[in-house]
Amino acid sequence: MKLSKEQSFYISPLSKGEHKILPEGENLAGIDDYTAKDLMSKNLIAASKDETLSHAMGIMKKHGISEVMIKDEDGDMVGMVTQEMFTQRRHLPLSTKLENVMHSPPSVQVDDNVVDICEMLMSSGYRGIPVTSHEGDIIGFVSRSDIVRKIPRMVEFKDLKVNEIMTPTPSTITEHDTIDMAKNMMRDFDEKVIPVVNKDGKLSGMIGIKDMIKSDLYPYLREEKGDMTGERDSPHREIEIRSLMTSPPITTTPDEKCVDAARKMAKNDISTLIALDEDGEIKGIITTIDLIETLASFKEGEQVYVQITGLNEGPDTLDMMYELIQKYLQKFNNVIKPLVMNIHVVTHNEAGTETKYSLRIRLQSDHGMFYVKEYDWNIMRALDEGLEHMRRVIFDEKEKKLDRMRKHPKYRGQ
């Protein structure tokens, strides 16, 4: 069951490829050994449907969580509210009852494999989802953080490096920019955390959804104190990033192993690491979502999981995109094995009623992650040019590897 507005589907057929097999290490297990039962938390933190948004926000802050389950008068779990809801619907009064804003999340069964759980998290857009027994009762909750904590013990990640799955050259924001600017960037680039730089362009912090919650409380606090003067959004236009950002940020390097990056995320209870080179330059960003996508890419089979977000066009456009993506995936499969593709669409009305599209395309493969951006007034042309750009990058990588092999003494007969 998929309840998000995102478009998710599998594309096939592709010629059969082989999964990379890594040697087992001490105390390591394969992903097939992990189910919801091994990952979930049995301590369900819940609020009554008759309680208010203010109460739910207090629970999130107290327990450091992003979701709160909602129960009815009989104690049965009937819905959920999320942290993102407070940034998206911040005009709601804090006295709003939870039963009026809760939604029904998807769920996984206790025996579901970690790969299937990751796929559900990706398709639904939730940070965590309930776990049900075979009888349909909710008995636990599994989040991205729960999964990330287990990654250091998964043999499939043993030799994987940060630069193989990170997003390169991420967008940044300055310390003196405003919260509103950060929110717009998060929406346009489909990012939950953005690196913050100082006047010299060096990393000085990070700003994320959790930090935004603090700013979103300001209008509510003024309302509770009886101060209704001015626009409720005015604080967001005035607050500078530096007053809310997380500093100093926790960082990694492009060559660090993903298992070590996952340990840092778990230890510091964060979802994002900025990858810096030896000179302190920002080279990329790795998130829990990147790790979840990588896990989902290990699913056996010949289909490619494709997710399109931000698309506001009709079904005809989606059908055309499907056909074009399928064509290019078949080309890619001659060189690499495509596993997971994410396409984020942002629309801009820059010339009257005419719309400009910007596309961010990420492809997880058995040879690492490929990433391109493309802009055009025609969404299909933008997609075509973006996928063609990715094809050239993939084939260029192949030629470079072949060239290195030809120059190796072993292949020169020396």
- 186 and 143 belong to one structural domain: no
CATH of the domain at 209: 3.10.580.10
Enter the pTM of the model.
0.74
The mean pLDDT value for 258-278 works out to: 94
Is the model more confident about 376 or about 184?
376
Is the model more confident about 298 or about 3?
298
Residue found by looking up tokens 């008759």 in the block: 50
pLDDT level of residue 202 (50, 70, 90 thresholds): very high
390, pLDDT greater than 90: yes
Is the preceding peptide bond at 248 cis, omega within 30 degrees of 0?
yes
239 is a domain residue: yes
1, pLDDT greater than 60: no
Question: How far, in Å, CA of 128 to CA of 146, rounded?
Answer: 9
pLDDT, mean over the chain: 81
Which residue from 33, 22, 23, 71 is spatially nearest to 51, judged by alpha carbons?
Answer: 71
pLDDT level of residue 215 (50, 70, 90 thresholds): low
State the pLDDT at residue 219: 47
- 286 and 351 belong to one structural domain: no
State the pLDDT at residue 402: 66
23 is a domain residue: no
pLDDT level of residue 302 (50, 70, 90 thresholds): low
- 280 and 191 belong to one structural domain: yes
State the pLDDT at residue 58: 87
46-48 vs 138-143, strand pairing mode: unpaired
212 is a domain residue: yes
276 is a domain residue: yes
Per this entry, what is the length of the chain? 414
State the pLDDT at residue 222: 41
- 215 and 287 belong to one structural domain: yes
State the pLDDT at residue 65: 83
State the pLDDT at residue 280: 92
Q: How many domains does the chain have?
A: 3
8 is a domain residue: no
367 is a domain residue: yes
pLDDT in tens, 114-134: 999 998 888 888 889 999 999
State the pLDDT at residue 47: 92
CATH of the domain at 340: 3.30.160.100
Q: Which of 45-54, 219-228, 282-291, 357-366 has the lowest mean pLDDT?
A: 219-228
- 279 and 374 belong to one structural domain: no
| Domain boundary pick from 274, 292, 310 | 292
- 281 and 317 belong to one structural domain: no
The mean pLDDT value for 70-76 works out to: 89
- 252 and 221 belong to one structural domain: yes
183, pLDDT greater than 50: yes
SS3 (DSSP) at 313:
coil
22 is a domain residue: no
Structural domain boundaries, residue 170: 162-292
| Domain boundary pick from 153, 177, 206 | 153
- 87 and 114 belong to one structural domain: yes
- 40 and 95 belong to one structural domain: yes
In sequence order, which ranges of 285-358 are alpha helices (DSSP H)?
A: 288-296, 315-332
Q: Which residues contact 304 (CB under 8 A, 6 or more apart)?
A: 10, 11, 12, 14, 329, 338, 339, 340, 341
State the pLDDT at residue 3: 30
45, pLDDT greater than 70: yes
State the pLDDT at residue 252: 97
248, pLDDT greater than 60: yes
- 115 and 172 belong to one structural domain: no
| Domain boundary pick from 231, 259, 292 | 292
Q: What percent of the chain stands above pLDDT 70? A: 81
State the pLDDT at residue 172: 93
State the pLDDT at residue 228: 37
- 99 and 40 belong to one structural domain: yes
- 126 and 42 belong to one structural domain: yes
Residue found by looking up tokens 């940060």 in the block: 162
Q: Which residues contact 277 (CB under 8 A, 6 or more apart)?
A: 253, 254, 283
Q: Across-strand partners of 8?
A: 307
28 is a domain residue: no
The mean pLDDT value for 33-60 works out to: 90
Is the model more confident about 112 or about 24?
112
Which residue spans within 192-277 are E strands per DSSP?
A: 193-197, 203-208, 251-252, 272-276
The mean pLDDT value for 46-67 works out to: 88
Q: Which of 166-175, 220-229, 239-248, 323-332 has the lowest mean pLDDT?
A: 220-229
